[in-house]
Amino acid sequence: MNDLIHKGAWELSQLMTGGQVSSQEVTTACLERIAQVEPAVAAFLHVDAERALELARRVDQRRADGQELGPLAGVPVALKDAFAYAGAPTTCGSLILRDWIPPYNATVTQRLLDAGLVILGKTNLDEFAMGSSTENSAFGPTHNPWDLERVPGGSGGGSAASLVAFETPLAIGSDTGGSIRQPASVTGTVGVKPTYGGSSRYGLVAMASSLDQPGPCARSVLDAALLHQVIAGWDPKDSTSIDAPVPDVVAAAQRFDLAGLKVGVVEELGGEGYAAGVEQRFAEAVALLEAGGAEVRQVSCPHFPLALGAYYLIMPSEVSSNLARFDAVRYGWRVDDDGDHSVEQVMRRSRGAGFGAEAKRRIILGTYALSSGYYDAYYGSAQKTRTLIIEDFAAAFEQVDVLVSPATPTTAFKLGERVDDPLAMYKADLCTIPSNLAGNAAASFPIGLSPQDGLPVGLQVMAPPLADDRLYRVGAALERALEEQWSGPLWAELARREERP
């Protein structure tokens, strides 16, 4: 196996800067790996091999010419197929967008290109980012490389799976209710949801506009921080973008002490419904934080148990509004017209055939919640609950610097296990949803394998808005402490398994 695929983004950058390897060699190694494992993993919806190699060649030429390049120049990255990339299909995992090739780049995409990263292609996701398992994609499910019969999380399971399948060292995701953090947890990778408004949503196909947030996915804390630094920052094209300096996440990822840091364990995120192996690894990780100098205390956030219900009224309401544009007239694929049909009939037939079951479920739920006579009872009440959750966070952050919890209640479940039980599927996001409703920063970091089933477990860290650097400080200290126990990173276990006869 080509050893380049096992190296992280920072290590590859150092090798390229030192002239030991070229971006073209690294990109070729990733493309060969994709060709090797994709039939089993199915992390990608589109591989842009020719353009990726051309991007790599340009970076190599600029480096040879002595130009000053960014720290990730020449490093490959995978892009969740909800971000516009000019000239490449952007489907959002939906039939209704299967023929759309955008003529422009999302701001995140453009920032990757400006920083010299090499976009390998577009990764699979639940349709319009609606799901917790990547089984709702119209183009088939993605498989978890730890166990190909299990889900890689969702909605961004393709991005997370591509990392642990060693197809790419970096990936981009978007997080609406946990779509970066939940896949990171069940694949043993690092996934970060920046502060809402901390990274631009321009060119990210909207699912729920007050909740969506692009973020970095990687195999290490430092790699995630470097990618975060590239994509973050104010964007005049996004009205919700925050015009404030980006916290120094890279410096935080290179700091390994926790002295003086106050860590709050959220009392409401644990107990019944949480797998014993998840709780065991979480308790061990918290003990490591305390041993590393952090002051740990219990913190109550009494309205967090209401977050799931509030989210599944607010999010579908925004889905109903955002997906109304895909009507086969203004946007979206149109069913072949085999007769004299009215516009309304064409729209009905096209939307009926173009949207999958989960998208339809959320459109109907959201339309109902916004309808006359029900708005105050459902959508209005959910927004009031959202305010209470924001107040819970504010009160908690007066006591502690960060909050921690399991990232998911269980490890990866089997493919097909929850597809007929939407509520069971939604519960995969119990821990992650509060941060989306409040807009604060949050991340998932790998903390080992569950003793019950040998699958990855993640620890969630939550920080106040615009304190994203605190996530990386905790993650870096935890990563170092755990790697000393494991004699290397968690994902190295996958590489060892693959190399065994």
Q: What pLDDT score does 331 carry?
A: 76
The token pair that represents 122 in the structure block: 């577009």
Q: What is the pLDDT of residue 362?
A: 95
Residue 146 in domain: yes
Average pLDDT, the chain: 95
% pLDDT > 70, the chain: 99
Burial of 58 (0-12, 13-18, 19+ CB in 10 A): middle
Which pLDDT does position 461 carry in this prediction? 99
Beta sheet of 402-406, edge-to-edge order: 44-47, 118-123, 76-80, 170-174, 214-218, 190-193, 441-449, 456-463, 402-406, 262-266, 295-299
Work out how many domains the chain is built from and give that number.
1
The pLDDT value recorded for residue 466 is: 98
Average pLDDT of 250-276?
97
Average pLDDT over residues 492-496: 89
Q: Is residue 336 part of a domain?
A: no
* Range from 138-142, 355-359, 433-437 carrying the lowest mean pLDDT: 355-359
- To the nearest 10 degrees (0 to 180), the angle between helices 221-231 and 468-486 is 160
Q: What is the pLDDT of residue 340?
A: 62
Does residue 35 lie within any of the structural domains? yes
- Average pLDDT estimate for 67-73: 97
pLDDT of residue 498: 82
CATH of the domain at 298: 3.90.1300.10
Contact, 128 vs 332, CB < 8 A?
A: no
Write down the catalytic residue from 132, 137, 174, 179.
Answer: 179
174 is annotated as an active-site residue: no
Active-site residue, selected from the candidate residues 13, 22, 23, 80: 80
**pLDDT band, residue 157 (cuts 50/70/90):** very high
Joined tokens for residue 159: 């991005």
Question: Is 155 considered catalytic here?
Answer: yes
211/94 Cα distance (integer angstroms): 20
Average pLDDT over residues 197-220: 98
pLDDT for 337 equals 65
What's residue 433's pLDDT?
98
Structural domain includes residue 485: yes
| Structural contact between residues 415 and 150, judged by C-beta atoms closer than 8 angstroms | yes
The pLDDT tens digits of the residues spanning 302-315 come to: 999 999 999 999 99
pTM: 0.97
Boundaries of domain holding 483:
3-304+386-496
Residue 179 falls in the annotated catalytic set: yes
pLDDT tens figures, 110-123: 999 999 999 999 99
Over range 360-369, report the average pLDDT: 94
Residue type at position 70 = G
Rounded (10°) angle between helices 357-370 and 307-322? 100
Find the catalytic residue in 13, 132, 137, 155. 155
Flag whether 501 is in a domain.
no
Mean pLDDT along residues 262-273: 97
Residue 367 has pLDDT above 70, yes or no: yes
Whole-angstrom distance, CA of residue 85 vs CA of residue 74? 18
Predicted pLDDT of residue 334: 83
